[in-house]
Homo-oligomer: A and B are copies of this chain.
Amino acid sequence: MSTIQDVARLAAVSTATVSRYLSGEPVRASARIREVIAELGYRPSVVARGLRSGRHDTFGVVVPDVTNPFFAGVVRGIENVAGQRGVRVLLGNSDEDLTREATLVDDLSRRVDGMILAPATEHDDVPHVLASAGVPVVLLDRAVQVGGRFDSVTVDNIVGAKLAARHLLGLGHRRIATISGPLTSTPGRERHEAFLDELGAGGADLESALVEVADFREAGGRAAASRLLSLTQPPTALFVANNLMTVGALKALRALGVRVPEEVSVLGFDDLDLGALLDPPLTVIDRPTVEQGERAATVLVDRINAGAGPAVHVVLPVQLLVRQSTARPRRDPVKIIPSTPGSTTHEHPTVNTEQ
């Protein structure tokens, strides 16, 4: 492996000149240098440069779990824009564990130009951890509460949750349950509150037994769904606040032999990659996963170039994807609004019907 010294010697210039050439500064001997570099197959050492200049051409990415299709998409998006700029991605899984997350951030921060972090939950340490990182950080998906001062790329959870509520109400449901995520996280709290607000405004039951707060994980969704369907008066519709919990809920329903949407409608937040092939095809609030990663990376790039400044908050739109897991309640247990089939009109600012 040749070094900048070799190039300098063969091109008969100083290493400083080669270095300048490499960084795009105008240089007289550029033609010769270019040739020598090509001939030698010289590639500058990112490590040496990093030590000297602090630039590492690397972004750190910390997510709870790449295995979650949402985060896989995000990582892909980040890698898309990073790779395009010759920047590499250093990946860590926090497993929603605060200690692991802090360790990762600390660890990565010394060898990256910036980080993208999907915080486990919004514990009070996050700002501390981030501040100590010493590199720009953009918060992903879970950001608002903690991160006024940090750049963030989130999704319009509030509109999403309201779309969900309106869709269910519009179908005639009144006894609607929700399986929420942790209220200590932005998406957990926002989806929870917005959904219940809209439900209240729509005149639905707001019995506390219909509100389950879980953990964004499959097992949590499964357990919550089981409890809800075991109520003496079970809900006719179910809003599940993320993809993993939706999978759990669907498994619970299947295990209990509850039919969807005949006995209970199910609406999930976050599409599942196979959402359309499920039994039944799942109605969901969908969001641009890969794009969310791409935007996060773009924001990070900008921040690195621009230096300190007022925090940027990007909020991406979501849309309701109506498939077949939601339908009118079979028999409305509360018997309100005997709406005429086909006549219900609801505003769905962003609604897509697949196929």
Contact = CB atoms under 8 A, between A and B. Distances in A.
A1 B280 CA distance: 55
A88 B108 contact: yes
A81 to B, nearest CB: 12
Which of A1, A110, A274, A279: most chain B Cβ within 10 A? A274
Interface string A115-134: 00000000000000000001
A134 B274 CA distance: 40
A250 interface: yes
A107 interface: yes
Nearest to A274: B274
Contact of A279 (B43, B73, B91, B280): B280
A69 interface: yes
A66 interface: yes
Which of A83, A93, A108, A272: most chain B Cβ within 10 A? A83
Interface stretch (A27-35, A44-52, A312-320, A339-347): A44-52
A265 to B, nearest CB: 16
Q: For chain A, which range describes its interface: under 10, 10 to 19, 20 to 34, or 35 or more residues?
A: 35 or more
A149 interface: no
A205 interface: no
A110 B45 contact: yes
A3 B335 CA distance: 72
Interface in A58-95: 58, 65-67, 69, 72-73, 75-76, 79-80, 83, 88-93
B111 A46 contact: yes
Which of A1, A276, A279, A290: most chain B Cβ within 10 A? A279
A146 interface: no
Contacts of A90: 58, 88-91
Interface in A224-282: 247, 250-251, 254, 272-274, 276-281
Contact of A247 (B48, B56, B75, B274): B274
A291 interface: no
A198 interface: no
Contacts of A6: none
A193 interface: no
A249 B73 CA distance: 22
A72 B79 contact: no
A48 B250 CA distance: 50
A106 interface: yes
Given A93-B79, A274-B272, A47 B45 contact: no
Nearest to A324: B279
| 10 shortest interchain CB distances as A-B pairs | A279-B279, A72-B72, A274-B274, A47-B50, A91-B91, A67-B76, A47-B51, A66-B72, A89-B91, A51-B51
Interface of A: 1, 43, 45-48, 50-51, 56, 58, 65-67, 69, 72-73, 75-76, 79-80, 83, 88-93, 106-108, 110-111, 134, 247, 250-251, 254, 272-274, 276-281, 290
21 contacts: A1-B134, A46-B111, A47-B110, A47-B111, A51-B51, A66-B66, A66-B72, A67-B69, A67-B76, A67-B290, A80-B93, A83-B93, A89-B92, A91-B91, A247-B273, A251-B276, A272-B274, A273-B274, A274-B278, A277-B278, A279-B280
